[in-house]
Structure 1
Amino acid sequence: MKIGIDKIGFYTPHMYVETEDLAVARNIEPGKFTIGIGQEKIAVPPITQDAVSLAANAALQIVTDEDKEAIDYVIFATESGIDHSKAASIYIHQLLDLNRNTRSIEVKQACYSATAGIQMAKGHIALNPESKVLILGADISRYGLQTSGEVTQGAGAVAMIMSAEPKIMTVESPSAYQTEDVMDFWRPLYSDTAFVQGKYSVDKYIGFFQELFSAYTKKTGVGLHDLEAILFHLPYTKMGMKALKSVLEDADETDKERLLANFDISKKYNATVGNIYTGSLYLSLISLLEGNTNIESGARIGLFSYGSGAVGEFFTGILQPNYRENIYKQQHEQMLADRTALTVAAYEEHFQNTLPVGVDNIDLPTEKDPATICFAGIKDHMRQYVRKDK
């Protein structure tokens, strides 16, 4: 039985700041951001968007009434959680009006956890072939104003439906994975911004990729020549490029040209949205699926998932017949085109506009947010969401 990704879509807020403008405001040569880091735009969330609403808007695009009946498992991957106890997936279950007989959980391991969700979903579907699993990777990446990580911020969500006999991509077995106790990136409970040791994190990321790709090749016999593309978790796009080039030094020229060309396609959406943590790798997959013109069904795609702390995994998928008929290219391109560019001053104002800690009641201006689903405020310490199309 084939198991894999049946549908996949993404959502990002309606505002962004140009990295060139940010560089000028920070007295930095713009090329260091656009070329050295490889980022063009940073998605900026309004106060009315959090991980739940971002994920719900992404899922709203792909979930049909038929899917609602078949989905019996919701896995929400995030490191931007809203509650220490209640899973974010329960809010999604209510907002999408899913089947009551559903298992709903939240999973965390930095940017890796959506991949854990995929592997969990495979096991569930293997035991329950009629089931579908909704996987959500949603995050808001915050490093602080005028910090070294500021240019690698972002916000957005990816939603995927896993099923038997999928329309987009089967997920192959086995994979290669590993864990190491590493303090390259972390966010303590008391902080709403992350801490990162930049160079150390890059070294670990590249080292994990090299080790896992080698382990996968030894385990399966699959090498560079068997892969149409290799996709990466992309905190910023240049990071993935460095990792890819690290295994191409002795590659055949044909393989090298193909893999580099397809990496360029896969990084497009990431470069204009920014870092969305758990959803980043799968945003790159969407970018490849929607941006390529010559990758045929049956092609094998490699995927490198990495979550600081650290857990990594390398696995592959096979594109399915007519996969192009089941993507949302026009909707995604329109969403990105409709966004509003902010001045750096306006971006800073939105960044600093956060909820007061411990507030028990507050109403938020959802009328200013064009999203269908918004975080509407807090009532008696309980988060409130609104779905405008109902």
Structure 2
Amino acid sequence: MKIGIDKIGFFAPHMYVDMNKLAVARNVEPEKFTIGIGQEKMAIAPITQDPVTLAANAALMILDETDRGKIDFVIFGTESGIDNSKSGAVYVHHLLGLNPNARSIEVKQACYGATAGIQMAKGHIALNPESRVLVLGSDIARYGLNTSGESTQGAGAVAMVISAEPKIMALENKSAYLTADIMDFWRPVYSDTAFVDGKFSNEQYIHFFTTVWEQYKNKSGLELNNFEAICFHLPYTKMGLKALRTVIEEADEATQEKLLANYQSSTTYNRNIGNIYTGSLYLSLVSLLEQSEQLKEGSRIGLYSYGSGAVGEFFTGILQPNYRDYLQTKSHAELFASRTEISIEEYEEVFQQTIPVDGSTATFDATKDPATIYLAGMKDNMRQYVNKTH
């Protein structure tokens, strides 16, 4: 029985900042952002969008009534959790009107959370072949205004339906993984922005990749020439390329050219949204599938997941017949086309708008937010969510 990705889609807020203009405002050469880290636009979440609404809006794009009835497990990967007790998955489950006979949980391990969700989903489907699992990766990356990490912020979510006999990608069983207790990136519960040792984190990202890649080759007997593409977790789009370059000479020249071309296709969406933490690897996968014209059914795709702190994993999938028929290419193109650029001043104002943490009541103006699901305010220490279709 094949198990894998039956559906996949993403959602990003309707506002963005041009990275050239952000560079000018920060007295930085624009090429440092556009070429140095490879970012062009950065998605900005209004106060009416949080990780729950982003995830729910992403899922809305891909689910139908059959899914709503058959999904009996919702796994929400995030490192931007809104509650220390209640999972974001429960909110999403309700907002989407899913089958009540379901498990709903939240998973946390930095940017690795959605990958952990996929691996749990595979086990659930193996035991329950008629079931479907909704896996979500949703985050708002915040480092603060005028910080070294500001240019690697972003906001968005990816939603995936994992099932038996998937229409898009069948996940192979062999994978390699690694854990080490390191402090390259973290966010204490008292802070709404992250702490990061950027140079150390880059080093560990590459170290983990080369380690799990060697483990994977030993486990699987496969080599780089067996791959059409490798997707990477992308805190910024140049990061994956740095890792790929450490192994690319293992392949013949034709494979090298193919991997590099497909890598560029895999970064298109990320460079226009920014870092979405748990969803970044899967946003890269969506970008590859929808932007690359080289891929064919039967192609093997590698996936490298890295979550600071740190956990890394390398695993693989095989593209299924007619997989392009089940992508959301048109909807995603419309989402990008409908976004609005905001000025640096507007971005800074939005960034500093915060949800009350003292129990006070608040109502948020959602008239400019086109999303179907949004955060309307706070009342009695509870977030007030709205689905416009209900």
Give the TM-score normalised by the residue count of structure 2.
0.99
SS in 1 for 2:66: helix
CA distance in 1 between counterparts of 2:216 and 2:358 reads: 47
Alignment of 1:156 with 2:156, yes or no, is yes
Deviations 1:19-60 (A, max 9, x none): 100000011000000000100010000000000000000000
Asked if residue 10 in structure 1 is aligned to residue 29 in structure 2, the reply is no
Contact 2:3 2:122 in 1 (8 A): yes
SS of the counterpart of 1:175? strand
Does structure 1 retain, via aligned residues, the 8 Å contact 2:71–2:102? Answer: yes
Partner of 2:212: 212
Q: Would you say 1:64 and 2:88 are equivalent positions?
A: no
Between the aligned partners of 1:222 and 1:267, the Cα distance in structure 2 is 25
Specify every segment of 5 or more residues in structure 2 that has no aligned partner in the other structure, as ranges. none
Map of 1:203 onto structure 2? 203
Match of 1:258, as an amino acid?
Answer: K
Please give the alpha-carbon distance, in whole angstroms, between the structure 2 residues aligned to 1:344 and 1:118.
Answer: 37
The correspondence of residues 193-342 of structure 1 with structure 2, limited to 5 A, is: 193-342=193-342
Q: Aligned pair 1:127/2:127, yes or no? A: yes
2-structure distance, mates of 1:170, 1:235: 26
For 1:123, the aligned partner's letter is G
- Displacement, 1:359? 3.0
Residue matched to 1:361:
361
> Residue 160 of structure 2 aligns to which amino acid in structure 1?
M
Where 1:145 maps in the other structure, the secondary structure is coil
Number of aligned residue pairs: give it. 390
For residue 294 of structure 1, report the CA deviation from its aligned partner.
Answer: 2.2
Alpha-carbon distance in structure 2 between the residues aligned to 1:385 and 1:84? 18
- Between the aligned partners of 1:358 and 1:254, the Cα distance in structure 2 is 59
Shift of 1:248: 1.4
In the TM superposition, what whole-angstrom CA distance separates every residue of 1:275-313 from its partner, at most 9, and x where no partner exists?
Answer: 000000000000001001121100000000000000000
Partner of 1:192: 192
User: Which residue is 2:173 aligned to?
Assistant: 173
CA distance, structure 1, for counterparts of residue 223 and residue 35 of structure 2: 29
User: More deviation in 373-382 or 275-284?
Assistant: 373-382
CA distance in 2, matches of 1:267, 1:234: 8
Q: For 1:239 and 1:279, locate their aligned partners in 2 and report how far apart those are by CA, in whole Å.
A: 15
Q: How much does 1:357 deviate? A: 2.1
**Dislocated runs of 4+, deviation >2 Å:** none
CA deviation after TM superposition for structure 1 residue 354, in Å: 1.0
CA distance in 2, matches of 1:179, 1:294: 34
> What's the offset of the Cα at 1:250?
4.2
One-letter code aligned to 1:354: T
Structure 2 letter corresponding to 1:318: I
| 1:253 maps to amino acid | E
SS of 2:201's partner is helix
Give the secondary-structure state (helix, strand or coil) at the position aligned to 1:273: coil
1:76-91 correspondence to structure 2 within 5 Å: 76-91=76-91
Residue-by-residue CA offset, 1:232-259 (whole Å, 9 max, x unaligned): 0000000111000111134321111010
1:313 partner letter: E
